[in-house]
Structure 1
Amino acid sequence: MAAHVIITLAERHAQIRQEKLEALAVKVMSDLKKQCLTAHELGRRELTWGSVVPGIMVGCEEDMDDVLVIFAKIIEHDGDAGGFNKIEWCKARAPTQWVDSPARFGSHMQIRVHWGDNALEYLS
C-alpha cells in the first residue's frame, strides 16, 4: 500500500514559486519564438533579441536568476530538439562580449540565436 506523502507549508510554497517561475520562463521562450518566426518569414536565420527578465516580485534578483536558469534549460533542450543551432548570450558589462552561458545585466538579457531553414515547424 502506498504511503501518503505529506508536505510542509514551506515545501508547498516553494513548489508554487517554482511553478510560477517556470511559467514566466515559458512565456519568455514563447515571445522569443514568436519574434524568430517573424524573422524567419523575412528570410533571416538569426535574431538578436532583448527582454526584461521577469520575476514574481519586480526587481527580485533571486527570481530573475532562477527564471534565467529555467529559460536557459528550456532553450538548450529545444535546441537539442531541432530548434536553435547556436545560442549566444550578451555579457553587457564593459567590454561587451557574446558568451555561451546565460547572462543578464540588471533586469535585462540579450540573446542571439541562429536556426536553420528546417526550423519553421519548431518556431510555429
Structure 2
Amino acid sequence: MHAEQLAKLRRLEAAATPGPWARTADGTAVMVAWRDDKGTMLPECWKRGGHPKLTVRGGTLEDTALIAAARNALPALLDLVDALEVAVHEQEADLAMESAMRMMAETKVETLLDRVEELEGES
C-alpha cells in the first residue's frame, strides 16, 4: 500500500464516527453506539449530528458484519502497518551495516593474504 493510501485511510478513520460499530439485531444495518453509565446503548452519531444507522441496501448479512468488523479493526491495522514499516526500515539499516562490515572484513582478509604471499616469496 502506498503512503498516500495509508494517509487517506488515516484521515477517513479519524473523521468517521468512533466505534465500536455493530450490526443491528436483524443484520440489515450497521449501528454506531456506546453505552452510558446505566448500560443503555446510545447512538454515538446523534452526538455528532448524524443518524445512528448505516443501512446496507442490496447487501447481505455478511456485508454488514464485514463493515462493522472492518471499521472496528481499522485503527489497529493502520498502527500495525506503521510498526511494520518502522521494523522494515530498521532491518534495512541493519543489513546495510552488516554488508559494509562484511566488505571491510573481506578487504582486510585480502590485504592479509597478499601480505602472506609477499612474505612467502621473500623466504
- Per the TM superposition, whether the score is higher than 0.5 is no
Higher CA-based Rg? 2
Higher relative contact order (CA 8 A, sep 6+): 1
TM-score (norm 2): 0.31
Query: Higher strand proportion, which one?
Result: 1
